[in-house]
Structure 1
Amino acid sequence: MAIEILQTQRLPARCEQALAERYVVHRLFDAADRQALLADVAPRVRATAGGHVDAALMDRLPRLEIIAVFGVGYDSVDTEAARSRRLRVTNTPEVLNDAVAELAIGLMVALARHIPQADRYVRGGGWAKAGFPLQAELNGKTLGILGLGRIGKEIATRAQAMKMRVVYHGRHRQPYEPYVYYSSLLDMARDCDWLVAVAPGGRETYRMVSREVLAALGPAGGFVNLGRGTLVDEAALVELLQSGELGGAALDVFEHEPHVPEALFGLDNVVLSPHQGSGTRQTRERMGALVVANLDAHFAGEPLPSAVV
């Protein structure tokens, strides 16, 4: 009998095609009546593909065995509820490391050199009237990384190529890494020119980039967020950027995305990005392939390529 799965979000075309070739797929994310769809198929569903699976949805799926998340972050899944129900949860790590690290450096350069503003300056005829104001550079600056995981390490490697000094903060010191470890995020922020956040979301990291941490970066400091919007006190971030107490910010994630605080739109010391850390064709294809690989391995009784629960 064919295995039935519930697709909770849109996935890359090749991923959706591969799933359709292997399984009976029910597309919850674009159903006209989601409750009616669940009432019909829930008793038969054995897996979900995508994120946004809470305890209530798990309770609707009595035969659920595995939740295959599309993304390295899995904070949209109630992992405690999954664990208590003996459900497997997988994500798609590693394959997006390079794409996110590239964007991190790109955002830093864009903020330091005011590239978006320079583009508007040229298009608006400003260059014909006067030269563009002098900007900053990354060379010789200290970068503090919040979350020295797989992506954090790739960012560190690229930052060193930009002739930056790298330090980091995390739950534990990593003794085989060559970077200076700070047990206090606040202390690290005081000593940094740049703070890049790539830590996961969730209760443990909620607003750990506090007003005090942001203020410690100072009027010449830059904050970059590619982790989750919940990592930072967003209201404090806006206030400090408006007052100039924080030099600038480059943001790829927001607490209530796709809603972005409108106060940020008029600020010249901000670069905004629509959560596109992994947003390249090649990376999204590899992420989709890993979703399929995890499901295939589970139903074949084989070890899961990237289990988190």
Structure 2
Amino acid sequence: MSRETILALATLPKDLRDALSADFDVVERDDPAARDARIAVTTGMVGADAGVLQSRPALRLLASMGVGLDRIDLATARACGIAVCHTPDELTEDVADFAVGLLYAASRRIAEADRFVRAGRWAGERMSPSSSLHRKAAGVVGLGRIGAAIAQRLTGIGMRVAWTGPRPKPEAPWPFVPEIRALAAQSDALILAMPGGSDTQGMVDAEVLSALGPRGILVNIARGSVVDEPALLAALEGGTIAGAGLDVFASEPALDPRFLRLENAVLAPHYASLTRETREAIVGRLLRDITAFRDGQPFFNAAA
């Protein structure tokens, strides 16, 4: 089979670009060869809007690195006859692990303790107590693959788990709470695992944070867009909540500098899925789906 051109719609990580380059000619948007590319690769954070999809009449497959589809115009892809593949299963376990890690880091003040020791403060000072997690109540917002994996882990460390989402899931072993403010009010920790997009834009607002309360911890491994960020900053600065563990922000990587001054916020660079094992699985999944497309074999098409 001859080498085919693949259009890179986003800055691709080196491992993915190297794997693609072994069998394909990977070109950027301004390369003349991009006009005839049948396959394009993007990331969940960059996506592809209607304008991008409509401007590429030769495009027949969009491969996205990541679980989120909120930045891909699936309706336009469907109308243009463009299949969309992504990596919805490969990230689940590592992202769930990271969410629990952020919860521990924020509640037990692990990152703050590290800074305390490195600054040489231990000899003359003592840190004030942190907050335990066992026997506490956790609320999970969004019980998809990742949310369910988080709920299982929280149950395993001795937390009482409830959840909310667009609709009940009778098969789920955890209680369903129909409204996010009610869930926050009964939770010591609120973990966000819902998809991004217009339906969840700013869902965690000042009222939700107030309901979570001055001993509550917020963890976000979903999308920065699901949180009203000015309200979150005000809550962290004013003690409306106790702390937060954040892997995503409204603007990345140029996050609001006020976050950098907060001792009660644990910050990560959209890092929850970045393990060697998950990276290998993601690259392998995309390569398999691209091969299936080229061979006329079935693969999961999110735009179907």
Please state if 1:233 is matched with 2:228.
yes
Residues 15 and 292, structure 1, Cα contact 8 Å, conserved in 2: no
Provide the residue aligned with 1:5 in structure 2: 6
Report Cα offsets for 1:123-143 as digits up to 9, x if no partner: 222221233221111101111
- Between the aligned partners of 1:300 and 1:4, the Cα distance in structure 2 is 16
- Between the aligned partners of 2:265 and 2:20, the Cα distance in structure 1 is 40
SS in structure 2 of the partner of residue 276 of structure 1 = coil
Report Cα offsets for 1:104-152 as digits up to 9, x if no partner: 1111111111111111222222221233221111101111111111111
- Between the aligned partners of 2:233 and 2:127, the Cα distance in structure 1 is 26
Report Cα offsets for 1:83-102 as digits up to 9, x if no partner: 22121111101111111111
- Between the aligned partners of 2:64 and 2:201, the Cα distance in structure 1 is 21
- Between the aligned partners of 1:201 and 1:279, the Cα distance in structure 2 is 20
Please state if 1:77 is matched with 2:90.
no
Q: How does 1:1-309 map to 2 (within 5 A)?
A: 2-26=3-27, 28=28, 34-35=29-30, 37=31, 40-51=32-43, 52-304=47-299, 306-309=300-303
SS in structure 2 of the partner of residue 214 of structure 1 = helix
Task: Note the C-alpha offset of 1:10.
Answer: 4.0
SS in structure 2 of the partner of residue 278 of structure 1 = coil
- Which stretch has the larger CA shift, 14-23 or 146-155? 14-23
SS in structure 1 of the partner of residue 22 of structure 2 = helix
Task: Note the C-alpha offset of 1:22.
Answer: 3.0
Provide the residue aligned with 1:31 in structure 2: none
Residues 11 and 288, structure 1, Cα contact 8 Å, conserved in 2: no
Residues 139 and 162, structure 1, Cα contact 8 Å, conserved in 2: yes
TM-score of the aligned structures, taking structure 1 as reference length: 0.92
CA RMSD of aligned residues (A): 1.5
- Between the aligned partners of 1:217 and 1:69, the Cα distance in structure 2 is 35
Closer, same or farther: CA 6–113 of 1 in aligned 2, 3 Å: same
Residues 42 and 62, structure 1, Cα contact 8 Å, conserved in 2: no
Residues 222 and 246, structure 1, Cα contact 8 Å, conserved in 2: yes
Task: Note the C-alpha offset of 1:157.
Answer: 1.3
- Between the aligned partners of 2:119 and 2:3, the Cα distance in structure 1 is 59
Q: Which runs of 5+ in 2 are unaligned?
A: none
- Between the aligned partners of 2:19 and 2:191, the Cα distance in structure 1 is 36
Closer, same or farther: CA 13–265 of 1 in aligned 2, 3 Å: closer
Report Cα offsets for 1:43-88 as digits up to 9, x if no partner: 3110111233222222221110011000011223222221221211
- Between the aligned partners of 1:191 and 1:156, the Cα distance in structure 2 is 16
Residues 107 and 131, structure 2, Cα contact 8 Å, conserved in 1: yes
Q: Which runs of 5+ in 1 are unaligned?
A: 29-33
How many residues of Structure 1 are paired with residues of Structure 2 in the alignment? 299
- Between the aligned partners of 2:185 and 2:16, the Cα distance in structure 1 is 44
Residues 54 and 76, structure 2, Cα contact 8 Å, conserved in 1: no
- Between the aligned partners of 2:198 and 2:257, the Cα distance in structure 1 is 26
Closer, same or farther: CA 22–125 of 1 in aligned 2, 3 Å: closer
- Between the aligned partners of 1:175 and 1:220, the Cα distance in structure 2 is 31
- Between the aligned partners of 1:210 and 1:81, the Cα distance in structure 2 is 31
- Between the aligned partners of 2:108 and 2:198, the Cα distance in structure 1 is 35
Task: Note the C-alpha offset of 1:12.
Answer: 4.7
Task: Note the C-alpha offset of 1:293.
Answer: 1.1
Task: Note the C-alpha offset of 1:193.
Answer: 0.7
- Which stretch has the larger CA shift, 51-60 or 243-252? 51-60
